[in-house]
Chains A and B, each alone.
Chain A
């Protein structure tokens, strides 16, 4: 069968995975039509200069299933997600927009709860929801509720971050335990009946980014490893910066229950989504200082240095295993878990 041609005929779930197939759609279909120097950087948000001010602008849509899960719901996910995308540009997020797509028959009580959560998340992070839109579609034409958020923020003075700025020697810090969000949603999903005490890590990282900027550490890249997880994000950075990346299995922070669930179901935590974590690439000399700064934040207590940037094998990520072996951490081809955010 001609899988290639057929794949182009119809959209499959893999097109939304954040892995290779999404990436190919981005480079083959979207970039050629919308091409401009800002978009082609493929960062989490766009860095724009308007009337002498440097702004970060970003958008994201949320289709998570189920819409309520331990530790949060689609509402705070949508607010925090966009706050984080703007923050990763080295910016202070200020205003966000909210677009709601609702399915006919969706309970207003649930909507009310989601809106309250969104208001709470925005307030906690100190951003305002300043514009929005609501559409309702007939029953069965959408699944309960989909949310789009966009946002803008001011890039901090003198800060310039991009996934293309990683340099050999940089140390890589992850701000806490990985894979919590994806495993929480999976566990909450209908059909998977097992109990655990894990909950989403959904959180706004704007205060953490502010402390990182104020520390004046020599940071080159900030990224939040959401869909596709740490593995996918590191691959994107290796490729954007044309460098190699080495991480150490023994240093990856992982909750016991998350590790256990991954073992049971055969998932690699490196590819599971996070919603309140960041990866920071920092000059070797400043790494320890930055680690302390991140650990001082309420969402950064479990931060660790997990690896470093090297010159060899540009575009590739390798993991040193606990037994002293080594293996490639490739970009996922397709979808490990659909509708996780």
Chain B
């Protein structure tokens, strides 16, 4: 396996040079938001917060797919897992997220057939191996994973696999950024835009949001040099008062993105209103199956319609995802809410802000 393009972007001399330049240039207090959960983890993992000057604070954004999944969707997964005829296929991150009364991990311990998969295509494998069962894939993800899920549905159609369906809690990034900027109290001086998502969407997808709010924005890769370069660009844009939408991840992201992946995604899915945990309903921010693919829609197939449920009392996940609060300012953090006894999804997901703070902070 080649590691090209990793080591170069972890070069300690390059990184130290960037840190020096950021420190020399940055004077204004800056609140920069990393939108993507993978950035959050990378920032902690490489100790980036500990090398920045005090005037720069990093906020974690709504880009951890598990964290923004509404509690009613988690309840729907649990409801599906409880059916005797269903094998529920899920990404591992969802296992421990508490729903209203249980979690997939606890359901599994009590006998539910829940399998961890690494791709929707693995779930098709389960469906062909278990023809007497219904395999339901929990689709939780952004533009990065939606095209693969779409491709898996097309593959099922082609192969005549009929015992496979998808419960879609998919979400789109740009509408969430717009909703965020419209929220009272939200103050973001710059976005570190997601790398993986942008590989699919391209730079262009952010242009409408950028042109409306003129927030400095830089698409970044995930290595420390990538992230520090993006921060340096955001500092320059802020200090010069020259907001721009920049692509700092040119080795993977183009203007238009992966057009083929976009086509597959739009062939199978269409925008719909989605409920984001802690933020609420955002129009056109979800991706539901188009009518011609309703046969693959688990919610329809099994008649699942979960009521809206209030989030657990005191849980500040929603405010944390919008940069209004830090994990440490949540009353439950490290007290009632720990990775062993998570109350909200930000403590469960490996990419969640609270889990990152808990794991890496003193």
Give chain A's interface residues, CB within 8 Å of chain B.
1, 3-4, 6-7, 10-14, 20-21, 24, 191-192, 194, 196, 250, 256-257, 259-261, 263-266, 268, 313, 316, 319-328, 330, 333-334
Contacts and interface: CB of A to CB of B under 8 A. Distances in A.
Contacts of A191: 117-118, 122, 125
Contacts of B16: 323-324
B362 interface: yes
A129 to B, nearest CB: 35
Contact of B224 (A12, A24, A322): A322
Interface in B317-362: 338-343, 350, 358-362
Interface of B: 1-3, 6, 10, 12, 15-16, 19, 41, 44-51, 96, 98-103, 105-106, 109-110, 117-118, 122, 125, 224, 228, 312, 338-343, 350, 358-362
B47 A323 contact: yes
Contacts of B109: 10-12
A316 B46 contact: no
Contacts of B103: 1, 3
B298 to A, nearest CB: 21
Given A259-B6, A325-B51, A330-B358, 16 more contacts: A1-B102, A7-B340, A10-B109, A13-B105, A20-B339, A260-B2, A268-B45, A319-B47, A322-B10, A323-B16, A323-B47, A324-B15, A326-B50, A327-B44, A333-B339, A334-B96
A261 to B, nearest CB: 7
Nearest to A260: B1
A86 to B, nearest CB: 32
26 contacts: A1-B103, A1-B312, A3-B341, A3-B342, A4-B341, A14-B105, A14-B340, A20-B339, A191-B118, A191-B122, A256-B3, A257-B1, A259-B3, A263-B3, A313-B362, A319-B47, A321-B47, A322-B46, A323-B15, A323-B16, A323-B47, A323-B48, A327-B50, A328-B361, A330-B358, A334-B340
User: Main SS of the interface on chain B?
Assistant: loop
Most buried by B among A4, A11, A327, A330: A327
Contacts of A194: 1
Contacts of A334: 96, 339-340
Contacts of B50: 325-327
Contact of A323 (B19, B118, B312): B19
Contacts of A250: 12
B155 to A, nearest CB: 16
A263 B101 contact: no
A17 B14 CA distance: 38
Given A21-B340, A324-B51, A327-B44, A196 B1 contact: yes
A319 to B, nearest CB: 8
